[in-house]
Each structure stands twice: as C-alpha cells, then as structure tokens.
C-alpha cells in the first residue's frame, strides 16, 4: 500500500495518504466497534454474502474468535505500518527507479533491488510500532475476541481489575515492558529510530 501511494502523483497521492491517516485520528474504541459492525451477524460482510446469495443465514464464526482479533488488529494498526514505510520510500529518488528500468530490470527486480533495501528501516519501524501496540492492546481481545481471545495484556488487565492479584499483574507488566524495550533496541540496530 505504501509503495502504491508512493507511485501516485499529485492529488491522488494526497488523497490516498489522507485515507490511510484519517482512521488513525479517530478513537481506537470507535475503530474496534466499527470492526464489530463489519464482522457481526448483522454486519456488512454477512449482509453482503446474504445479498449475493452465497449464504442463507448469517455466519457466526466471524466474531468472538482469534480470527476477529487478528483482523481487527491488522485493520486498526495498519496506518502505523504504512506511514513509516511511505516515509522511507519518500527518500528514494525517482531517478533510481528510472535508471533501474533503463538498465532492463523488471518491476519486481526494481522493487527487490532498489525500493526494498531503502524501505527496510521503515518496515522495521512499522513492525516495531505494530508489535508494541498489539502487545499492549487489551481492548481488542475483550471487544471482538470474547472468551477465546486471551492475550498477555488481557491477563494483566484481569489481574489488576478483576482478580486483584496485583503482584502477578505487576510481574507480567514488567515482562511486557522488557519485551517492548528489547524490541526498540533491536529495531534501533536496523536504523528504525531514525525513521520516526
């Protein structure tokens, strides 16, 4: 998506980038509830499948499972991946792409040998953002995962809020913090922090 936006010109580039950024400006809870509306039994996907005749009654498997958690995290956190990759691609001179084509490289070869190496810091920075944000997210498993979506952040939230087992919650929080800091240190080795 970032490469597609990068290749656009003028107003189309601005509009596509705006469509990526605007969802990240809305409340995270609103985005999760929007995904519930899309995946629910009376949601957009089920209504569309009924309309085209693929199913006769709504599918119950789209919500309250790990697939729903994964899909919701992908949709809600995707701007945090696209933006750093796009930023690193902006540093790519278009003359390099043209020179690659002039030398007979295909589009795939141009991507792998020219665009991809330059975008690696952006990919690492985006991966770091998404990993840390998804690691600490406990709302998505609660709202779209139901009882099947157990994550470490949900266990921490339950220990602090429901079970009142604060020592275990604090220990798990410390583990989560160490994992997040380790991710930042590893990402820094790839130059990801320069992309931020």
CATH of the domain at 53: 1.10.3720.10
Mean pLDDT in residue range 102-122 = 89
Residue 8: closest CA among 19, 74, 122: 19
Residue 93: closest CA among 110, 115, 123: 115
Count up the domains in the chain and report the number: 1
Residue 186 has pLDDT above 80, yes or no: yes
pLDDT at residue 194, as a whole number? 67
**CA atoms of 177 and 173, how far apart (whole Å):** 6
Give residue for tokens 């991809």.
116
For the segment 54-103, what is each residue's pLDDT rounded down to a tens digit? 999 998 888 898 999 999 999 999 999 999 999 998 988 888 888 988 89
For the segment 6-63, what is each residue's pLDDT rounded down to a tens digit? 888 889 888 998 998 898 889 999 999 999 999 999 999 999 999 999 999 998 888 8
């Amino acid at each position: 998506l970032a490469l597609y936006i990068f290749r656009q010109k003028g107003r189309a580039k601005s509009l596509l980038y705006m469509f990526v950024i605007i969802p990240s400006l809305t409340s995270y809870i609103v985005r999760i509830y929007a995904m519930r509306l899309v995946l629910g039994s009376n949601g957009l996907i089920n209504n569309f499948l009924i309309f085209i005749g693929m199913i006769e009654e709504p599918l119950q498997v789209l919500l309250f499972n790990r697939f729903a958690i994964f899909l919701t995290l992908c949709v809600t956190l995707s701007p945090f991946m696209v933006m750093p990759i796009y930023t690193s691609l902006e540093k790519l001179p278009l003359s390099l792409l043209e020179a690659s084509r002039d030398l007979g490289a295909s589009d795939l070869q141009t991507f792998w040998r020219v665009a991809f190496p330059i975008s690696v810091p952006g990919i690492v920075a985006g991966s770091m953002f998404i990993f840390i944000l998804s690691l600490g997210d406990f709302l998505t498993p609660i709202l779209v995962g139901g009882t099947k979506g157990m994550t470490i952040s949900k266990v921490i939230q339950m220990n602090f809020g429901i079970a009142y087992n604060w020592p275990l919650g604090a220990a798990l929080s410390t583990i989560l913090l160490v994992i997040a800091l380790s991710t930042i240190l590893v990402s820094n080795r790839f130059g990801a922090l320069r992309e931020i």
